[in-house]
Amino acid sequence: MLLASFSYSFAEIELELQFLLSTCSSYPGLLHLSLVAAGNAYREAARVFKKLTWNHEAATTLVDAGNLMKDSDSLGAVECYREASGLFMELGRFMVAAKHLQTIAEIYEARGGDSDTEKVCFTLFHVWLSVG
């Protein structure tokens, strides 16, 4: 069973990630890799939460992954925010979903590319704001 091999608690994983980030902060290249690795670890935790049908925990963990990856792997962060936004919409948390759509649009805006996707995300953000 998957959970039997998942012997660490989420708090222990978070402490490990904090230690890793504090240790690597003096090495920018290593920090970049560490942020991506930490983001991927959070994505894996979210996958486990989704299998358990703990969708709220999965969504918030994906947001944490996106926050970690935003500066180092913007496309990976967009994937995390997009998936989290979809989960929040399924849960009826439209304002929270809209906030993460806005974050996606801001990432695309900062990258200076794909203005169509950026416009779609901002449009969806404003639609959800008017609904909420």
- CATH entry, 10-131, from 1.25.40.10, 3.30.870.10, 3.40.50.2300, 1.20.210.10: 1.25.40.10
* 93-128 core/surface letters (b: 16 or more CB in 10 A; e: else): bbebbbbbbbbbbebbeeeeeeeeebeebbebbeeb
Regarding pTM above 0.85, the answer is no
Distance of alpha carbon 91 from alpha carbon 52, whole angstroms: 15
Q: What is the pLDDT along the chain (132 residues), one digit of tens a residue?
A: 344 445 556 676 666 666 655 555 545 555 566 788 888 888 998 998 899 899 999 999 999 999 999 988 899 999 999 999 999 999 999 999 989 988 998 898 888 765 666 666 666 666 656 655
